[in-house]
Each structure stands twice: as C-alpha cells, then as structure tokens.
Amino acid sequence: MTHGMVSAAQPEAVEAGLETLKAGGNAVDAAVATALVQTVVDPQMCGIAGFGSLHVYAPQKGLHECLDFHGRAPLAVTPEMWEHLLVGESEDGFGFQLEGRVNEIGYGAITSPMTLRALDEALGRYGTRRIGDLMVPAIHYAEQGFMVRPHVAAYWNQVPTEGRAPHSEFLTAVPATRRIYAKPDGTLRRIGETLRNPDMAATLRLVRERGVAEFYEGSIAARIVADMKAHGGLIGEADLQGARPEVNAPLWGTYRGLDIATNRPPGGGLMLIEMLNILEHFDLAAMGHNSPDYIATVAEAMKIATVDKDTKVGDPRFVAVPLDELTSKAYAAPLAERIRRGEKTSVPRLKAKGKESADTTHVVAVDENGVIATMTHTLGTPSGVVTEGLGFMYNGAMAVFDPRPGRPGSLAPGKSRFSSLAPSILFRDGKPFLALGAPGGTYIAMGILQVILNVVEFGMTASEAVAAPRFNATSDTLDITNRILRATEAELVRRGYPVRRWPMNFHFAGVHAIRMVDGRLDGGADPGRDGMAMAV
C-alpha cells in the first residue's frame, strides 16, 4: 500500500519524511521531519532561525490554510537608518547593496527567527506527531555528520557577481561559524567529505527535551540575546517572543478551468496568479514549448508582475496592497493586449550591479489520506552568524529591505519583507491535481509558473515539468539556461531582447512537485539540486 510521497532537494531529508510516513505520520509530519533534516544537511539554504511559508490541505478535517512565518525586521530598526549607506540594487530585485554590507553579512542582517516555532505550530494544528520525536534524524545528522553534496559545495565556493560577498565569507567571517565550516588549514570541506556540527545537535537535543519555548524564551533565547548585545545586533527579547507565524486563508485564482491556491503577500503567490491571468489570453501550446514566441510572451508577463511587485506589494500590515486589482481578470486583460501589440515592459533598477544569491529550500509531501503539505523555508541569504555553542546559522533577510523610506519594501519595526515564496496547489474539478513550490529568490514564482505551464499546457509529468529548460525575466535582461536553443536565442536578440545565457543547464528556481492523477502520484525533484521524489 502506498503511504504517500515526498519530494525535496536533499536525499537525507526525503528519507526522514518517508520514514515518518511509513510509521503512520501524515503529510505534515513528514514535511516537518524533512524540514528539520534540511536545516542540518543544507545549513545555508535554510535553518531553525529562518522563515518561510507552509501550505496545508487536509480534506478529512476540512482544513485548507497557509501558515506564513515570514521574518520580521527587529523592533530596533528605523526607516531611515541605512539610507545614507545605499550603493545599489541587485539586478533581479533581490536585495540592496550597502556600504560595508551591513545588511548582508553579520549581526545587522538578521530578522526574527521564525522557522522552529512555525514547525512546532504546524504539528499542533495539522500533524499527529511531537516535534521532539521528529527531531531524531536531524540530531543524528548533526552529531554523526552528513556528506557534503555537489549543490552544497557549489554554493560554498560560489563567488557572486559584482557587489556581493563571496559565499565563503558567510562561512568564515565569524569565528564560531568558521570553526564549524572550515578545516584547520582554513579551507572548506569538499564534495564527499563529512561535516559534523555537535553544537547544533546539542541545541536540537535541548529543544527536544524542554520544548520550543526554550529557543524563544528560555536558556537558548538568553544566549541569543546576549550574543546580539555583545556584537551590535538588532534582535532582542521582544523580537524572539513576538516571532509567531500567522494563519491565512489561501489566495485563489483560476487558469484554464483549474483552481489555484497559493499564499498571500508578503509571499509571492500574488505574482503567480497575475502572470497566469495574463497568459490565459494566449494560445501558448500552439506557440510551442520554449519557442521564441512562447519565451517572449511569458517573459513579458514576468516583467509586468515584477514591476507591480516592486511598486505595489509588501507586508499587508504596513502596505495597502491592491490585492483584488492585481489578481483580477479585468486587470490582466489590457496587460495581455500590451504584450500582443509587441510592447516591452522595462523593469527599473537602482544602479544594478548583479544577481543576489538564492538560498532557500522546499519540500512537498502527500499522504494516503489526501493531506498535502508544500513548504518553502529559507535563510533568505545566510547572515554568516552562529552564536558560540549553538551551532545554527541565523537568516540574513534584512538584505532585501529597501533602505529608502516611503516605499512598499522600506524598513519598519516588525515589518516583513516581500518574498517570492509561493507554495501552491492546483485543483481540477475540486480535487488536488498538482502541488509544488521552489527555492530560488526572485526566481521562485517564475520557476513555479513555468512548471505549471509545462504540466497544464504541454501535458508533462511532474518529473518532466521540473526538468524542462527554464528562463527568467525579472529585469530588462532575458536570462536563459544553457539548454535553450541558440537559434531561439538568436531570434530573441533579433527582436530586441538583451539575452544572457547562463552556463547552468538547470537554473532559475529549484522546483519540486507532486502530481495527482486518477489516484496515482508522480513526483519531480529539480535536477539542479541534489534531491529526489519518492513514494513509500
């Protein structure tokens, strides 16, 4: 009998989810077990001091909710505190460059740590297991070590484009961090070598014994606050105590007769619905998959949604987001007509100086009773900070806030930054059809969009859909992966598009998906990561 399926970017984490399903846990239990292992074996993509969004569908309980746990700016921030340090903006809109990189590396980069409390609350609301029991595999990998995989090593050794810190700095800038990730000779571990983190094992074991409150109000919280005070950090006791997720109804849209449920702002689901509303006006299948017409049309929808995100979308607790307008079919119709007339949308950027890194991960789980959990969680970008003796790295999510006051993404105490996280579920005739999500910074919504189109327009399986070549347009430049045909690139250039070919064959988000057809499951794990999709 099939107990369900898990798709995620790390084999160790998938196995933990599968074992949870085999032991009688539901999809939410499996997703949490997977996520906890992810925080250990992919410690710069995510962490217990990160943030994210969980989308749960539990038909037998009549539940369909999003548990949103977006990181919040510390209460100590002020809107204008970094305005004088502004240097530029990343080309894809995923972060601002400041003098001294104070928003990117170090204690000033950290927003409230949300993930651990969110995972615990998810189990209380939707699961059947205790978080302490599900921590056992994560503790094992922290104590005994995990083998460095290709994607982990590639990230550690990546040197981003102009204006961004080499990723090795995240791992070596702080002494406590350097002792975990660097060998005695100062080099980072290579593919196949083992990384052990006994301090993180001790932290997880303490939480297992005493509960999640120990992290937010107990001895661990005291150590966090003391470390922040000692190093000029902005996080305080009130930030930890106020780090609580929010429960929201899904944001709904439709496409070709399918119902789409996704998350609300400050998540990225709104962009997904807006783009699909625009693209519904075109016969994409007739254009042909990844043809010049297809890429140009979809890319223009991406650019339009990006401009709307930059100028109109932020934390709804601080920004009046025109949600009804941006998700309406009436709003999309004239935008589609602009594309049909051949108009090109320009995406304004401030002194663009290159791409921000994309440091996130995802898990999708489905069980035998039809419960679905699709969750994206992340560090945003890693801050590089580890408190001595605690072992985990804090998020670096302050890098995306706009240092200029008076804008949707500007700094404010307790405010969440926009994130492209968009864990989504598609329904056909009221029944779940496709559950998916992705890591990838501003690429997330764009990757999810293309996988949906691959499945709906071109009849691909989940595996085929996540493996197909992708492209991205979150700036005036059209980015393509190396498997997009050069003849197609030449035609796009002829039409006046600046095109940048990337050396990677798999890029622009790392989509993971499970498709449900006639009671059968088929899954896809993005080949650009190291993971797998497997049923048990």
Higher pLDDT: 333 or 85? It is: 333
Q: What is the pLDDT of residue 73?
A: 97
Please tell me which residue, 246 or 104, carries the higher pLDDT value: 246
Predicted pLDDT of residue 104:
87
Among 195, 186, 104, residue whose Cα is nearest residue 144: 195
Which distant-in-sequence residues (6+ apart) come within 8 Å of 18 by Cβ? Answer: 6, 30, 534, 536
pLDDT at 3: 86
Of residues 303 and 87, more confidence is placed in 303
Evaluate if residue 170 carries a pLDDT over 90: no
Exposure string of 240-253, with b = 16+ CB inside 10 Å and e = fewer, is beebebeebebbeb
Element (H, E) at 97: strand 96-98
Place of tokens 């990730």: 181
Instruction: Confirm if 289 and 471 have CB atoms less than 8 A apart.
Output: no
pLDDT at 354: 45
The CA-CA-CA angle for residues 259, 437, 407, to 5°, reads: 90
Exactly one of 203, 306, 360, 374 is catalytic; name it.
Answer: 360
CA atoms of 327 and 305, how far apart (whole Å): 11
Mean pLDDT, rounded, for 140-159: 91
For range 117-142, the mean pLDDT: 98
410: which DSSP letter?
B
Two tokens at 273? 């619905």
Beta bridge partners of 380: 359
Give the DSSP letter string of 460-529: --HHHHHHS--EE-SSSSEEE-TTS-HHHHHHHHHTT--EEE-S-SS-S---EEEEEETTEEEEEE-TTS
Q: How buried is 175 (Cβ within 10 angstroms: 0-12 exposed, 13-18 middle, 19+ buried)?
A: exposed
- The full set of domain ranges for the chain reads 18-52+64-242+379-400
Residue-wise pLDDT for 215-267, tens only, equals 999 999 999 999 999 999 999 999 999 999 999 999 999 999 999 999 999 99
pLDDT computed for residue 356 by the predictor:
44
Both tokens assigned to 277: 């509303």
Q: Residue 392: which region, alpha, beta or left (left: phi > 0; alpha: psi -120 to 50)?
A: beta
Which tokens go with 383? 């801050």
Q: Taking residues 375-401, report their average pLDDT.
A: 95
| 158: its two tokens | 């990546």
| Tens-digit pLDDT profile for residues 514-534 | 999 998 999 999 999 999 999
Alpha helices (runs of H) in 352-467, residue ranges in sequence order: 444-458, 462-467
**Mean per-residue pLDDT for 106-113?**
96
Rounded to whole angstroms, the maximal C-alpha distance in the chain is 63
Q: pLDDT at position 87, please?
A: 86
Report the pLDDT value the prediction gives residue 94, as an integer from 0 to 100: 65
Q: DSSP alpha helices (H): ranges in 80-194? A: 115-126, 131-134, 136-144, 150-156, 167-172, 175-181
Mean pLDDT of the residues in the chain: 94
The dihedral formed by the CA atoms of 451, 455, 457 and 460, expressed in degrees to the nearest 10: 110
Collapsed DSSP state (helix, strand, coil) of residue 4: strand
How far apart CA 365 and CA 99 sit, in angstroms, is: 42
Give residue-wise pLDDT tens across range 31-76.
Answer: 999 999 999 999 999 999 999 999 999 999 999 999 999 999 999 9
pLDDT digits (tens, 9 = 90+) for 490-500: 999 999 999 99
434's enclosing H/E stretch is strand 431-437
Taking Cα atoms as reference points, which of 409, 357, 401 lies closest to residue 379? 357
Is 374 catalytic? The answer is no
Tens-place pLDDT, residues 456-466: 999 999 999 99
- What's the confidence (pLDDT) of residue 350? 65
- Position 172 confidence tier, pLDDT thresholds 50, 70, 90: confident
Of 409, 425, 429, the residue nearest 417 (C-alpha): 409
Dihedral angle sign, alpha carbons of residues 522, 526, 527, 533: negative
Model confidence pTM above 0.85: yes
Per-residue pLDDT band at 351 (split at 50, 70, 90): low
User: Comparing 9-13, 301-305, 400-404, which segment has the lowest mean pLDDT?
Assistant: 400-404
* The Cα angle at residue 211 between residues 208 and 214, in degrees rounded to 5: 110
pLDDT of 394 > 60? The answer is: yes
Please check whether residue 89 is in contact with residue 212, taking contact to mean a CB–CB distance below 8 angstroms: no
DSSP 209-273: HH-THHHHTSHHHHHHHHHHHHTT----HHHHHT---EEEPPEEEEETTEEEEEPPTTSSHHHHH
Amino acid symbol at 85: L
The burial class, CB within 10 Å (0-12 / 13-18 / 19+), for 187 is: exposed
The helix/strand/coil state of 71 is: coil
pLDDT in tens, 307-339: 999 999 999 999 999 999 999 999 999 999 999
| Pairing relationship of beta strands 499-501 and 478-480 according to DSSP bridges | parallel
Question: Taking a C-beta distance cutoff of 8 angstroms, is the pair 245, 239 a contact?
Answer: no
Task: Please give the structure tokens belonging to residue 251.
Answer: 């944001």
As a whole number of angstroms, the distance between CA 271 and CA 263 comes to 10
Predicted confidence at residue 92, as pLDDT, reads: 62
What's the confidence (pLDDT) of residue 353? 45
pLDDT tens for each residue of 420-444: 999 999 999 999 999 999 998 889 9
* Stretch (H or E) spanning 309: helix 292-312
Q: For 275-285, what is the mean pLDDT? A: 98
- Burial group, residue 159, by CB count within 10 angstroms (0-12, 13-18, 19+): exposed
Written in H, E and C, the secondary structure of 6-30 is: EEECCHHHHHHHHHHHHCCCCHHHH
Please tell me the distance from the alpha carbon of residue 320 to that of residue 240, in angstroms, as a whole number.
26
State mean pLDDT over 113-139.
98
| Percent of the chain at pLDDT exceeding 90 | 87
Tell me the C-alpha distance between 38 and 272, whole Å: 26
Residues 128-158, buried b or exposed e (16+ Cβ, 10 A)?
ebebbebbbbbbbbbbebbebbebbbebbee
